[in-house]
Amino acid sequence: MAKRITIKDVAEETGLSIAAVSYVLNDKEGVRPETREMVLDAVQRLGYVPNYTARGLASHRSRLIGICSPQTEPGSKLMFDNPFYSKLFSSIEYECRIEGYHVIVSGTDADESFLKLAQQRSLDGMIIVGSYSKEFYSDLKKANMPVVLIDTYQNPERFHEVKIDDRRGGYLATKYLIDRGHKDIAFISGALREQGVTQLRFDGYRLALQESGIAYRKELVVPGVVSFQSGVECAGKVLEQASGITAMFCTADIIAMGAMKKVLSMGLNVPQDISIMGFDNLNISEYTSPSITTVGQDIELKGKLAVEIILDEIENRIQEPRCIELPVQIIERESTRRL
């Protein structure tokens, strides 16, 4: 096994002290240009790679940011099955990387504390996606580090937040369909949980029906899980148990794709027979045929803002909890029509 080149090796190669080499590597002021050049030449020649763990011990920073998303749906691959998480986590990783930080991603059960991992890896901050138990947030507070919640509607410890108005998103989607003449609108979603994003989108659906004088029909509501296959199964179920459906509001684009597959497989046409509405505005919603009308949110911006808040607190640029609510809008494509 090849010997790891250390800062001591660089010092011996240049004839400088370890302190002098360290000043160059940490880009300190007051270093003479010829000294800097000598050290950097030796670093390249020897193949020296900084030991970030050792740097972290000295600076009391690990330069690690934790991302935690609860596995609230069955299956251990939830975050990767749903492209929403891929887009969000990619944005977080990119923003961290350009600032010299790395990320650790953990998908844990909703009742499992993330505190142990945070302590073991000496994380500099954490980004929590989704909803956990109240006990989890109490444990999280004990970690005493910057925390940003994404898409969380319970915040008993007053952490930073980045979110959208999911209730308004559900309302806009349903109102869009109602304004185009639809009254028998199925609601296909992930699990309905108190204070969860799906529940809030459902509340928006109910509000739009109520304001328009349309009777709520329980048989049109079919919750499942957030996955393509669940969209297939839930669409089949609602078409079997309810009559007169002209539109489906699916609370995620990945569900909408599954629902559309089921509708088409039954010999029906989208949107002539059934209009389908999604939520998220993922790239894949543009690639289907027909392309999916959806509620758009800026997923990448969510990740970017979460990282910015974490780093602002690390650098003592903010003290009070910050809450940012991003807008949503209808993205009209081909999967819906006016009756």
* Cβ-contact 69, 79 below 8 angstroms: yes
Q: Averaged over 147-163, what is the pLDDT?
A: 90
CA atoms within 13 A on the CB side of 314: 22
What's the rounded Cα separation, in Å, for the pair 187 and 199?
11
* Cβ-contact 204, 170 below 8 angstroms: yes
pTM comes to: 0.81
What's the rounded Cα separation, in Å, for the pair 327 and 324?
10
What's the rounded Cα separation, in Å, for the pair 303 and 289?
29
* Confidence band, pLDDT 50/70/90 cuts, at residue 105: confident
Instruction: Give me the pLDDT at residue 78, please.
Output: 54
The two tokens of residue 17 are 């002290």
Domains, the chain, in order of start with CATH, read: 7-50 (1.10.260.40), 64-165+299-329 (3.40.50.2300), 166-296 (3.40.50.2300)
Q: Averaged over 15-20, what is the pLDDT?
A: 88
* Confidence band, pLDDT 50/70/90 cuts, at residue 1: very low
Summarize pLDDT for 211-232 with one digit per residue, the tens. Answer: 999 999 999 999 999 999 999 9
Q: Averaged over 302-318, what is the pLDDT?
A: 92
* Cβ-contact 36, 27 below 8 angstroms: no
Q: What are the residues facing 275 on neighbouring strands?
A: 247
> Checking DSSP bridges between strand 293-296 and strand 329-331, what pairing results, if any?
antiparallel
Summarize pLDDT for 121-144 with one digit per residue, the tens. Answer: 778 999 999 887 777 788 788 778
